[in-house]
Homo-oligomer: A and B are copies of this chain.
Amino acid sequence: MSTTFPARSIGSAASAVAAAPVVPAHSRLRPLGLHEVRITGGFWGERQRINAAHTLGHVLGRLESEGWLPNFDRAAAGTLPAGRRGREFSDSEVYKYLEAAAWEIGRSDDAELEATLRSVVARVAAAQEPDGYLNTRFGRPGQQPRWSDLEWGHELYCLGHLFQAAVARERTRPGADDGLLGIARRAADLVCEVFGPTGIPAFCGHPEVETALAELARVTGDERYRAQAELFVERRGHETLRDIEFGRTYFQDDVPVRDAGALAGHAVRANYLAAGAVDVAVDAGDDELLGALRHQWARTRGRRTYITGGQGSHHQDEAFGDDWELPPDRAYSETCAGIASIMFSWRLLLAEGDAAYADLIERTLYNVVATSPAADGRSFFYANTLHQRVPGVEADPEGTSPRASSSLRAPWFEVSCCPPNVARTLASLDAYVATADDEGVQLHQYAPSEIRTTLPDGRVVSLDVQTAYPADGVVRVVVGEDAGGAWTLSLRVPEWADGARLRVRDAAGAVIDDDATGPGRVEVRRDFRTGEVVELELPMAPRLVAPDARIDAVRGCVAVERGPEVLALESTDLPGGADVGRAAIAGDAEPVERDGRVWLRVGLRPDESDGWPYGNRSASATAAAEEAELVPLVAYHDWANRGPSTMRVWLPVE
């Protein structure tokens, strides 16, 4: 079967609406979609390649073999609930797959994937009830009634992912005749009917439908969807849902969104809700709500975020802890929470333009999203600990793992949100690289990429970004054509990049301008000529990083970073595979770069006997490290790729 759509060529299909995950009605920065930005290789290009070549197929295979996609066939055949498999939210994984496939088709125009998407959509379509209801777990004889368990049922959550899939499809293939948008609209219409102003005065225990409805409104122009999203956001926080063991904070029903001080409760729920609330605030011009979210973002970043960008320090409820409660060994840092945090940050970046949002996105991409999938794209971390105390256990390649117990990457989970969530994120990653505004283009993430967009005044900006980042710190932005007048190229200097330099070269390579620049956003406004180059040089020397004194769990420790990457010490690299728990570094230790790796002088404490472990102050302080050796560190996102090991990001200083 061949596709009916032309292959993507950058800049050639500049539609009114970007083929991007978030397209606000109005915002400070305008997103650039897959037709305007293409990642062409490098760190992320390789991951996108693996995502397309392996992960999508792996996910689909598991959706089939686990019975989660066949649930739709059973629904269509009228045989449910018999034989239904999977948790109450398993439908959503099918929708996340569809979203990932839609973006990937938008990126690569893969005909086989197009056929697959259409066949999956057809199976989903067949399961939809005449009134638009769609869920394989509720509403049939022998099942719980529709909307009877808003706390845990995930019905609206599942539909939210359906809507996001339809949005992705419509943005990348406007008017496609596969029926996905129609399925979504029928379901959304039902949601508006059932949960509208005079309907059930409640909402879903797992936010997601809010941002999805807002985007569906943007795609369809249907104002009801936006109003429903707003209603869902505003209803939250008034103790409407039943109390549960974890408390109503778990699903953000303890405090109204606009009154909250920081994200709290289940980390994925909190970030999805915050993302939806930004959508609502932006489209409604609700500056009070937007201000509250901006404050929550800052507070959450400042007090509830791991050095990796990861969020969530409770295993029990997959939740944020209190301020400063960031234990590395119990870091939950769910992969999906990282993705959700990127969704929240990205929306604020579009709304406000502050480089700090892109800083956190970069950190989270390199150290959470990139950490989850194995090199082959077929197994994943669900949780992302910062300190593995006991060597992990290899997951059965054919098996299904408990979600967070897997200490090594696992192919699939009982709760398997992370694999398709990673897939949809990687497949749409091009859209997070750059934005535009009236004055020009902003680069947020550095990857080899082609950018071609049209400014509101009709001028075309065309850029070729050349870089080996993060292996190397030089980012060369080559101007592809004269725009015919001055415009502004804005580049993000990451928060860690003290001592960066910005150079402008003419087409012959001669330096026109050369300035030191610091963290934040640096702008070059110029009547750029074809072949001119803006060159950002970021300092990539490895650096020691200390935690805020209020983060109790890593007091007395330092971490090593290099560029956007957090590094880790893995037992695999220690003499004799020694446990990283024995490691300590001297107060004056400094990381060095050699042979493409970062090395640090690490000592090993003797493994002592087991007396009572609390005692006289002077006695306990004298656990001297054995003679330190130079040991290579590993990028955190690469750990656990060489078999079972222990690992730690934070290294105690003697």
Contacts from A to B (Cβ < 8 Å) = 245-247, 298-299, 301-303, 305, 307, 314-316, 321-325, 327-330, 356, 359, 387, 389-390, 402-403, 405, 414, 495, 543-559, 581-582, 584, 605, 609-617, 619-621, 623, 650, 652
Contacts and interface: CB of A to CB of B under 8 A. Distances in A.
A495 B555 CA distance: 28
Given A325-B389, A327-B327, A614 B402 contact: no
Given A298-B610, A327-B327, A559-B614, 5 more contacts: A327-B553, A330-B330, A548-B615, A548-B620, A549-B623
6 contacts: A301-B610, A314-B316, A316-B316, A322-B389, A324-B581, A559-B614
Contacts of A550: 581-582, 605, 613, 623
A613 B402 CA distance: 32
Contacts of A316: 314-316
B314 A322 contact: no
A581 B550 CA distance: 7
A614 B330 contact: no
Given A610-B298, A610-B303, A245 B389 contact: no
A610 B302 contact: yes
Nearest to A326: B613
A268 B51 CA distance: 44
A402 to B, nearest CB: 4
A552 B605 contact: no
B557 A245 contact: no
Contacts of A359: 612
A260 to B, nearest CB: 14
B605 A546 contact: no
A550 to B, nearest CB: 6
Contacts of A299: 610
Contacts of A247: 402, 405
B614 A307 contact: yes
A301 to B, nearest CB: 7
A613 B548 contact: yes
Contact of A414 (B245, B325, B650): B245
B558 A617 contact: yes
Centre residue among A315, A330, A559, A650 by max chain B CB count within 10 A = A330
Contacts of A301: 610, 612
A322 B402 contact: no
Centre residue among A609, A610, A619, A652 by max chain B CB count within 10 A = A610
A587 to B, nearest CB: 10
